[in-house]
Structure 1
Amino acid sequence: MTWSEVFELLTPGVQETAWMVGIAALLTAVGGLLIGVLLVLTDRGGLLPAPPVNAVLGLIVNVGRSLPFIILLVAVIPFTRLVVGTTIGTDAAIVPLTIGAIPFFARIVESALREVPPDVVAAATAMGATRRQIVGKVLLREALPGLVAGLTITVIALVGYSAMAGVVGGGGLGDLAIRYGYQRFETEVMIATVVALVVFVQLVQMVGDLLVRRLSHR
């Protein structure tokens, strides 16, 4: 196979990976942020202390984080079919990608929020701020650099997950590497997919680091 043919295969693979990772990252950011905030608020001493709710949320997050992605990928096949109507392709891969990444990001959100100095929260409370204002204007704002750094790590993890999704026909660079690089012994395709994934990860890390530096020096 010539390198021009390799690049023709690589282009849609990169586009599919970007689509999977982008949509899954967006859904993960929303879901993980919500769960992470709830873990902090419902903890003992939180703004909305509810130990039973906190215990249930913690259990769900821990179970989600403990499952290897390749097992989760197979386990949620019925749910994936229910949501998107198929278990093959990039749209189908977004479902397990999101389910696998939300617990991961939720713990990062929780850790970032707990690093906000209690004095800042106490000062906002003393000034009469509502719970919503404390969450939005104090906790999330103060933890923003850490949240962006955590989301960067999560997106990079999603890139790796998306490559594993190729095992079950999820599309993207992982599917390309398996079908051509592994099954057909096309070394050029395998090299090209590895390089593309490395470049993808480097770009994500660079953008994330840039945002964190700007947010940290506002």
Structure 2
Amino acid sequence: MNADIVALLGEGFIETVIMVIGSGVLGSIIGIPLGVLLHVTDKGGLMPKLATNAIVGVIVNAIRSTPFIILLVAIYPLTRLIVGTTIGTTATLVPLVIGVAPFIARLVETSLREVDRGLIEAAQSMGATDMQIITKVLIPEAMPGIVAGVTIAIVTLVGYSAMAGAIGGGGLGDIGIRYGHNRYMPDVMWTVVLILVVFVQVIQSFGDWCVRKVSKR
């Protein structure tokens, strides 16, 4: 493997990190509040609004059920409207965020459901408002599960970013397809796979460490 390929792999890795971390952060900013909304507006929630819950739920499920490679192509007009192009690392952030935010929302909703109902009732008996219960009870108690869910979502984004590379999204996926597959360079392909495996392991280990930190009372 020559120096040019090594440099290309380094550039591709940086692009992949930008795509994964950038979309993970933006997806969390959207997905976590969305998950809270789904939980509190559900039947038996703090602020049950079944119509709102149903509408948001349908949108979330529709996006989640769409294969990412199809979603990537389907929202080309929106991507072009936002960033002015449909190829490259920046353009790929749009479908990555749209794809991962509903996934995070459902994981957050699941974590919130596991919070002991007795804690919520105790807070209500002391006169806490709904917003105080959400910010002081629900989210803190569910934080380990939320962090674990976000970690899972970010790991999933590594695979999404590789798929995006297959159609001009940049990153290691693009290098693996263009050089490893199209130019019959298996050493490049396996190097890309190895880098992605190590990257996923680092993300998972860091996420597990964060879960342990927020679990300490």
TM-score normalised to the size of structure 2?
0.98
**In 1: Cα distance, 2:10 partner to 2:178 partner:** 15
Shift of 1:147: 0.3
Report the count of equivalent residues. 217
Shift of 1:4: 3.3
Report the AA paired with residue 79 of structure 2. Answer: T
Contact residue 64 and residue 103 of structure 1 kept, 8 A? yes
Q: Which residue of 1 aligns with 2:68?
A: 69
Report the AA paired with residue 78 of structure 1. Answer: P
**In the alignment, is residue 202 of structure 1 matched against residue 204 of structure 2?**
no
Alignment of 1:52-201 (within 5 A): 52-201=51-200
Contact residue 93 and residue 170 of structure 1 kept, 8 A? yes
Contact residue 20 and residue 90 of structure 1 kept, 8 A? yes
Q: Secondary structure of 1:168's match?
A: coil
**In 1: Cα distance, 2:190 partner to 2:97 partner:** 28
Shift of 1:6: 2.9
Alignment of 1:33-52 (within 5 A): 33-52=32-51
Contact residue 113 and residue 140 of structure 1 kept, 8 A? yes
Shift of 1:3: 4.6
Q: Percent identity?
A: 55
**In 2: Cα distance, 1:191 partner to 1:4 partner:** 17
Shift of 1:5: 3.4
**In 2: Cα distance, 1:103 partner to 1:68 partner:** 13
Shift of 1:188: 1.6
Report the AA paired with residue 137 of structure 1. Answer: K
Q: Which residue of 2 aligns with 1:11?
A: 10
Q: Which residue of 2 aligns with 1:29?
A: 28
Report the AA paired with residue 83 of structure 2. Answer: V
Shift of 1:190: 0.6
Give CA deviations for 1:31-54 in whole Å, capped at 9, x if unaligned: 111110001111122111110000
Shift of 1:200: 0.5
**In 1: Cα distance, 2:216 partner to 2:50 partner:** 36
Shift of 1:217: 2.4
**In 2: Cα distance, 1:105 partner to 1:64 partner:** 12
Structure 2 gap ranges (5+) = none
Contact residue 6 and residue 192 of structure 1 kept, 8 A? no
Contact residue 73 and residue 165 of structure 1 kept, 8 A? yes
Structure 1 gap ranges (5+) = none
Give the CA RMSD over aligned residues.
Answer: 0.9
**In 1: Cα distance, 2:5 partner to 2:123 partner:** 58
Shift of 1:103: 0.9
Report the AA paired with residue 6 of structure 1. Answer: I
Report the AA paired with residue 149 of structure 2. Answer: G
